[in-house]
Structure 1
Amino acid sequence: MADFIEFLHTLPYGDVFAANPLLAVALLALCLSMVGGAIRKGAPAIGGLMRGVGSFGLVAVLVLTVIDLARLNPDLAMPQLGVPEQVVDGEETHVPLAGDGHYWINARVNGHPVRFLVDTGASLTAISPETAEAAGIDAQSVLGTVRLETANGSAPAHLTSIDRLETGTIRAKDLRAVIAPTMNGMNVLGMNFLSRLERWSVEDGTLVLVPHDPQAPAQS
């Protein structure tokens, strides 16, 4: 995948294709299908094969796009996927593994309800521009920008700070975050949130979060 994205960078408008590899695959599949149709009369075997590969590529892009929306846009897809709800058990917040293989947390950002994907591979928490606007969070120019490495390539993101993030018995204040415009509306809880906890663990498929100073459960 990394080699394919590097190749895309060498093409005209390569930055656009590298940031959207599915678009590049769709255009390639469309070209194969069109060329196959054009040469099918003179070379039916080759033309038919090219059209078949092109059609398969277009279907694959459609399926991947739908999966991408279903997994990364919780406002649209999570209810249909039947994501199990987190529960508070004493001082602990328990988050069951969702059907898509991820842990999703219901939280409030400055009082605004938000669903987060837990990503232990992310050093910083990331929020979408829509979440930032709804929660009254602005990009802080004094903090600068960073470049995020995502499945769709490298993209700029603005550093900011979340005044208050609440979930279960946990309250996090002044949490550093990035506003990421290229993550399809997804919000991600990174290690800078998890490292504030007294401990966190995965037990029998359930993510267990234990804060240093448990609070009354937040309404999420």
Structure 2
Amino acid sequence: MEKYLALAGLMLASAIAVPKILDSRLEEDPQAQRPAVQQQQTARAETPKNKGSFNPLDGRKARIAMDSRGHFLTQAKMNGRSEEVLVDTGATYVAINQSLARRLGIRLKDSDFKYKVRTANGITYAAAAVIDEIRIGRVRVQNVQASVSRDESLNTVLLGMSFLKKLKKFEISGDELILIQ
């Protein structure tokens, strides 16, 4: 029995001492103690990321670069169709025009345009709709409320808060807008 207790004590002491010894050696020269493959991986991880590069460890994130005017424009897939969108935190809903709504499979009647809305172009009437899915990179949001305006009232797709508030987080870092789901 004493043999087993002595062996258990030796194993416990080793379990405590060995990690401390390894940690102190790695602190002295972290590259010297690593295998060559791990050194290469570490060197790659320390290089700055290319803009728009894919990193599977990012999870469901999308990065949108700021353009020269300070806007965040990007391609989004709306119900499977690729469209250029302008991120607009001042827009309550995703705003699309009637032609795009039709291409997305949203059918509206003239009587649906009953909501008075104030836009940068003045007061107009809009219809309420739901976009089944909007994707930007790996970020995917379903059942997004949208405002549909007549074609002459809106010529840009605005990605408003009805999309953004379904994300876990969105933030501006430097000249990038980061969407995190």
Name the structure with the higher helix share: 1
1:200 matched to 2:166: no
Deviations 1:71-118 (A, max 9, x none): xxxxxxxxxxxxxx9665422211000122210121111111111111
Deviations 1:114-146 (A, max 9, x none): 111110011111112221121111238998732
Name the structure with the higher strand share: 2
CA contact (8 A) 1:140 1:158 kept: no
CA contact (8 A) 1:86 1:106 kept: no
What are the residue-to-residue correspondences of 1:1-220 with 2, within 5 Å? Answer: 88-89=54-55, 90-91=58-59, 92-139=61-108, 145-181=114-150, 182-211=152-181
Task: Report how far residue 160 of structure 1 moved.
Answer: 0.6
Amino acid at match of 2:93: L
More relative contact order, 1 or 2 (CA 8 Å, 6+ apart) = 2
Percentage identity across paired residues of the two chains: 27
Task: Report how far residue 170 of structure 1 moved.
Answer: 1.3
Distance 1:140-1:189 versus aligned 2 partners, 3 A rule: farther
> Which runs of 5 or more residues in structure 1 are unaligned?
1-84, 212-220
TM-score (norm 2): 0.63
CA distance in 1 between partners of 2:62 and 2:180 (Å): 7
Amino acid at match of 2:82: P
User: SS state of the match for residue 126, structure 2?
Assistant: strand
TM-score (norm 1): 0.52
CA contact (8 A) 1:109 1:135 kept: yes
Distance 1:86-1:178 versus aligned 2 partners, 3 A rule: farther
CA distance in 2 between partners of 1:140 and 1:203 (Å): 42
Distance 1:140-1:164 versus aligned 2 partners, 3 A rule: farther
Deviations 1:24-59 (A, max 9, x none): xxxxxxxxxxxxxxxxxxxxxxxxxxxxxxxxxxxx
Question: Which is greater in Rg?
Answer: 2
| Residue 8 of structure 2: aligned partner | none
Q: In terms of mean alpha carbon deviation, does 174-183 or 201-210 score higher?
A: 174-183
Amino acid at match of 2:103: A
User: SS state of the match for residue 137, structure 1?
Assistant: coil
User: SS state of the match for residue 70, structure 2?
Assistant: coil
